[in-house]
Amino acid sequence: MAIHWFILIVLLVIIVQGQIYQRWGQKKLSYTRSFNVKRCSQDDEIEMVEEISNKKLLPLPWLRVESLLHAGMQFQAQHNLDISNGEFVQNHKSFFSLLPFTKITRRHRVTCIKRGIYRINSVSLTCGDAFGLIRNSKRLELDAELIVYPKLMSLEELQLPSQSWQGDITVKRWIVEDPFMVAGVREYRYGDSLKSVNWKATARTGELQVNQRDFTADRRLMILLNIEDHEGMWNTVNEVERAEKGIAYAAALSQAAISQGMEAGFATNACMLDKAKAKVRIEPRSGEDHQAYVLETMARLLIEPSVAFHELLEEEAMEYGRRFDYCIITAFVSEKMQFQLDLLAQNGHNVDVIYLHHDQTVADKAKRSRKGEYST
C-alpha cells in the first residue's frame, strides 16, 4: 500500500510543478539580442550578444530561444547552440538553464559571409518543467539590424589596366590646377607664366620662384551597374553571383575614387530593400559620409531588375550641362545599350565599360578590342 501512496504523491508533485511552470514560467522573463556594431563589411567577424534575465524566485530548468536569421551569418561552433541552415535563412536555437534572479550574457562570434541587411525581428521563448512534460512558449518582438557592406577590394584586386583610374592618368584626367589655391613655391621652369612669379620668394632666395598651385577635382565619376545577365532577360536574374561581383566592383571603384578626394556617384537597375519601385541613383559627392551612404545603398540592393538597363542609360544621356566619367559595369552590351553609350560619348562624357564574366580568372583576362572596355 505504501508504494501506491508514493506513486500518487509523485504524480501529484509532477502535476503541481507542471501547473506552476505553465502559469509562471514566462513571468518576469526578459530577453534582448543585439550586434556589437551597426555596420561592417563582408567577411568581417562581429559579435551577436544575447542577454536573458530570470527576475523571479522560480528557477527555469531549461529554456530554448529560437529565431530565424540571415543565411549569410556563419556562426562559430559553440556549446548549447543549434543551427539549421537553409538557402536564405537559418534556424538559430540557443539553450539556457536559469537559476532564480539570474542574468546570462552569451556572445556569439559570427562571420558575415554575404552583403545585405541582417534583421532580427522576433524570437520565440520556450520553457518547461524539470520533467519535460510541460512546455510554455511566447513570442517577443525585437528590433536588431546589422548592415553588411559589399566586400571592399583594392583596385589591384580588380586587375584594371594601368591607364584606368590610376597613376599619372588619374592626375591628368581627374584634376586640374586651381588658380586660387597656392600650395607653396618652386623654382621657375621654362614655360611658366610670369603671372605666377612669387616676387617675395624670389627676393628672399635670390632665384626666380613661382607659385605652386594645388589641384581640385575637375571630373566626377558615375558608376552604373547592370544586374541583367543576358539580353532579353525578363524578371529573374539567373547568375546571382555575377551580379554580386558587380556590386563588389562598384563598391571598390567608389571607395578608390572618394578616398582620393574625387566625387563619385552610383546608379543601378536593381531594386532596393523596402523600396522596390524606387529609383536607385546617387549623385556624385565626396567625403566619408557620402561613401558610407553609397555602401549602405549597395548593401540594401536586391538582385531583382526594376528597369531595363538601356532605359537607365537613356535617362543618363538626357542629363545636359554636366560632364561625368561613366564607368559601366555589365555582363553584356546590347544594341540599345550601345546606342545610349555612344550618345553619352557624343554629349562629352567619358565612357568606360567593364565586362563581368563568370567563367574567367584573373590570369586570362584580356583587353577588349574597343578602347576602355575590359573583361573582369
Q: For 202-258, what is each residue's pLDDT tens digit?
A: 888 888 887 765 544 456 899 999 999 887 777 788 889 999 999 999 999 999 888
Same domain, 300 and 228: yes
Whether residues 110 and 221 share a domain: the answer is no
Q: Is residue 21 part of a domain?
A: no
Is residue 1 assigned to a domain?
no
Give the global pTM.
Answer: 0.74
Residue 369 in any domain: the answer is yes
Burial of 297-316, coded b for 16+ CB within 10 Å and e otherwise, reads: bbbbbbbebbbbbbebbbeb
Whether 254 and 152 have beta carbons less than 8 Å apart is answered as: no
Within a domain: 9: no
CATH number at residue 296: 3.40.50
DSSP assigned state of 25: T
Q: Which cell goes with 305?
A: 531588375
Rounded CA separation 372/203 (Å): 49
The 10s digit of each residue's pLDDT in 35-84 is 999 999 999 999 999 999 999 999 999 999 999 888 889 988 766 667 76
C-alpha cell at 99: 537559476
Q: How far apart are CA 267 and CA 283, in angstroms?
A: 9
pLDDT at position 175 is 44
Assess whether 118 and 46 both reside in one domain: yes
- Angle at the Cα of 203 from the Cα atoms of 200 and 205, rounded to 5 degrees: 105
Region of poorest pLDDT, from 68-77, 165-174, 299-308? 165-174
3-state secondary structure of 133: coil
Tell me which residue of 301, 248, 252, 247 sits closest to 279, measured CA to CA. 301
Looking at the fold, whether 73 and 205 belong to one and the same domain comes out as no
Residue 180 has pLDDT above 70, yes or no: no
Is residue 128 within 8 Å of residue 21, measured between CB atoms?
yes
Residues 107 and 236 in one domain: no
Residues 159 and 144 in one domain: no
Instruction: Tell me: do 208 and 226 sit in the same domain.
Output: no
Question: How many domains is the chain partitioned into structurally?
Answer: 3
pLDDT at site 209:
84
Residue 5 lies in a domain: no
- State whether 55 and 133 are in the same domain: yes
Considering the domain boundaries, does residue 138 fall inside one? yes
* Residue 210 and residue 226 in one domain: no
The range of the structural domain enclosing residue 95 comes to: 28-149
Assess whether 265 and 208 both reside in one domain.
no
| Any domain includes 222 | yes
Is there a single domain that holds both residue 113 and residue 97? yes
Residue 12 lies in a domain: no
Residues forming a β-bridge with 103? 53
Residues 221, 350: one domain? Answer: yes
Q: Distance between terminal CA atoms of the chain?
A: 86
